[in-house]
Amino acid sequence: KTGVAMYGLKELIGEDSLNSALREFKNAYAFKSSGPFAGANDLYRYLQKHTPDSLQYYLTDTWQKVTLYDNKINSATVKPTGNKDEYQVDLKVNIDKTWLDDKGEDVPALKMNDYIDIGVFGKDTKNKDGSRRANFAYLKRYKFTRGVHELTFIVKGKPKSVAIDPLGYLIDRNPNDNLKNLE
């Protein structure tokens, strides 16, 4: 969970801000020969300091709570716009987030207003070694509340698939329904 949380935090606040927080934490606690020694709560305080107010929810969700998403693509269609190599993607998604309480019961995040990426994969590219690499035709971060949302956007190149949280910053109950093939 920590790896996913730190990776997601880096994408939200930026690598420089995360590195500053980690550097300050290290400078405060490195090479101490006597206590108090650093713990997770100490690191959390440094991360809080470098996280804007608008993103504090992410720290709370990943460090203080057990947070699970249940995002799903309900439908996705693609059609040519009439312009050369340009396509319109219509997407209908359901966004949901819950926290687990101390008894393991779901608590709906009714006032959820989270940043979540939507990505469209285009034609794969090849690396120098000849291996295939996924290529985004579109990648944008949206702010979502709970419920159903409809999105429409234009992409260059024929899209292969569309995804919610395509880079895996969130812990989703069923990540298999976050991707829809468009071919």
Per-residue confidence of the chain (183 residues) as pLDDT tens digits? 788 899 999 999 999 999 999 999 999 999 888 888 999 999 999 999 999 999 999 999 999 999 999 999 999 999 999 999 999 999 999 999 999 999 999 999 999 999 999 999 998 888 888 888 888 999 999 999 999 999 999 999 999 999 999 999 999 999 999 999 998
Q: Is the dihedral of CA 10, 145, 175, 65 positive or negative?
A: positive
Q: Is the dihedral of CA 150, 155, 160, 161 positive or negative?
A: negative
- Name residues whose C-beta falls within 8 Å of residue 104's C-beta, 6 or more positions apart in sequence: none
Please choose, from the candidates 14, 7, 41, 11, the residue with its C-alpha nearest in 3D space to the C-alpha of residue 25: 41
What is the C-alpha separation between 112 and 116, in angstroms, rounded?
11
CA distances (Å), origin 125, targets 35, 80, 145, 163, 183: 52, 22, 34, 18, 17
- Which amino acid type is present at position 116? I
pTM of structure: 0.88
Please choose, from the candidates 71, 69, 67, the residue with its C-alpha nearest in 3D space to the C-alpha of residue 177: 71
C-alpha torsion 38→42→44→49, nearest 10:
-130
Please choose, from the candidates 79, 97, 91, 68, the residue with its C-alpha nearest in 3D space to the C-alpha of residue 4: 68
How is the beta sheet containing 72-80 ordered, strand by strand?
72-80, 86-95, 147-156
